[in-house]
Structure 1
Amino acid sequence: MSVVGGHYRLAFTQSILAFTQVFNAATHYQLDYPDLVLILALVRGGSLARAAALLKVDVSTVFRAVRRLEAGLGQALFEKSRAGYLPTSLAHTLAEQAERAEQALDAARVGVEQGGEVISGTVRLTCTDSVLHALLLPALAQFMPGYPALTLELSTSNDFANLSRRDADIALRLTQAPPEHLVGRRLATVSYRVCASVNYLQSVDPGELARQSWIAPDDFLPDHPTVTWRRQQLPGVQPSYRCNSMLAVTELVRAGLGVAALPDFLIDPGQGLRPLSEPLLGYDTSLWLLTRPDCRALRSVVTLFDELARAIRLPA
């Protein structure tokens, strides 16, 4: 086995030995990996039938194995109820250990197959919900299957506070001026167009934008480029709908409730949206991939950062 495989097997063995010593002291039962696999399957499945399907055995085998394990440990791991098998706090703890062991073994296998270093750890990433759905998720689908030992925690937000408070390691943000204390890469220019749905356009004259029913970001996004443009170019317009995210604005437009200025990566003609204007000149912004300077020493963060920089592409 390679050094990588040996490293993860050592970590796995140490984890199992630690729990084995605890239980041996109290019960003299020798907890082993198949026990953890059983517990994890029942926690995930919630019933004997689903656990049996996960383990590819019959239900009676799972039932007898759980009974033997609980008898050996001298305490219950699950409580039977109408909802199924409910795990105790001990079962939850053991299931967490089983998941770590599972991830370590997966990472070791990948390391052996690839003959290189396995990237592992947890990276916290923040972005807006519109960027998440339109740009981030397609990018993650391209490369994350190749990093089975890498865990990604996602949160949606419209500000930079996550990185500043160290609540996140990487941020995808639409801005013209990222904070100076962050480092990163400008990925693309994002422009905006006034759009409406095909259904909405069937009942209105799109020639006069000021006479339309407008959908706009609310006061949570006071400096959004589309808000600035509307106030300067259509000062008399009072939006009929206000939303706290551009994804919500887009959904209302798609539902035929009015018009809005949308970023180009959210304008999908295949979903019934039609541009009513050319790009709003002078009101575009940039998509930035950002991190903290101290995160550049973390292999997991650097790897995810580089993969995102390669994979994120705005629609042509």
Structure 2
Amino acid sequence: MDKEVTIYDIAKGIGVSPTTVSRALNNHPAVKEKTKKKIFQAAAEMGYQSNVFAANLRSKKTNNIGVIVPSLNSSFQASVLAGMEKIANESGYNLVISQSLESADKEIANTRSMFKSRVDGLIVSLASEAEHLDHFSPFHKKGIPVLFYDRITNSENSTGVTIDNIQAAQVATNHMIDQGCRRIVHVLGSTKISVYADRLKGYKYALIDRGFQYEDELVIVLSEINELAAEQVVDQIMQMKPLPDGVFVSNDACAASCMNHLKQRGIRIPEDMSIVGFNNEVISRLVEPKITTINYPGFEMGEVAMRNLINHLDEPETAILHNTNRITLRSELLIRESSLKKK
């Protein structure tokens, strides 16, 4: 069993007093920023965990699982969390949830505080700004399992739960081509995020496969893909010559909002323009016409991610986390009126 790293070990390692280390770790203003940085780095490298739950030291378990989401205001994330909560409750674990708000710095800070509060495991959907994954290495060193979902990484020592985004986007684009669409706009979020990069690939593959030219100007990349961005998207679409006859949006709220703005400009859906969304959110079934979309199984994704993590905690030898880097769930195209040019 590895010996617990103490503040005395850190102090000795970098040549400062234990008091300075203690103050720095508690963010005391008396410690210079440069020294703080040095101490945080040494603490992370040595795998130091602060003694937040002294009572749990004997059992080495807190029964808390950390979850870091990019944003809590999406119905997809809400359904994922509901799936996680269900499995965690059944197994006697609590969730500690925080959001990165798409910021790499906030994700790093969240990760650090999860580590300090000694979560037994961590489940993460990566922030769009997340460039590197060094902040998860203290968990790997300590043998604390880290599992990614939806926005995953291809790193060696972690598992990701996702859908085949390339295939889902290919199916959606093919459906629009089958309906007679010849100029299809694709609206998506930052391609730094794995899911959007994969959907762009699927869209490209479908076009090339069916003998169409891929055109950069038909791809609209948004920093945040949501209903507010739709007006700007429609402005851009209306300036395209010739006018597109299909719009494939990587998010239902944005798709529904685009549809409203297009209708206000006198565009008939689907006669003039087909629309396809993504995620199968409630909004896709409430608008007129109802929106064709990809069913992204959020609740099931939450269940699968949590079940795998807890299995790993309860029986480390038999768990799936040891021998697989990716768990792929099924998605499907739900065809509704918004895309049906051919009745």
Larger strand fraction of residues: 1
Over alpha carbons, which structure has the higher Rg? 1
TM range (shorter): 0.3 to 0.5
Larger helix fraction of residues: 1
Compute the TM-score of the two structures, normalised by the length of structure 2: 0.38
Larger RCO of the pair (alpha carbons < 8 Å, separation 6+): 1
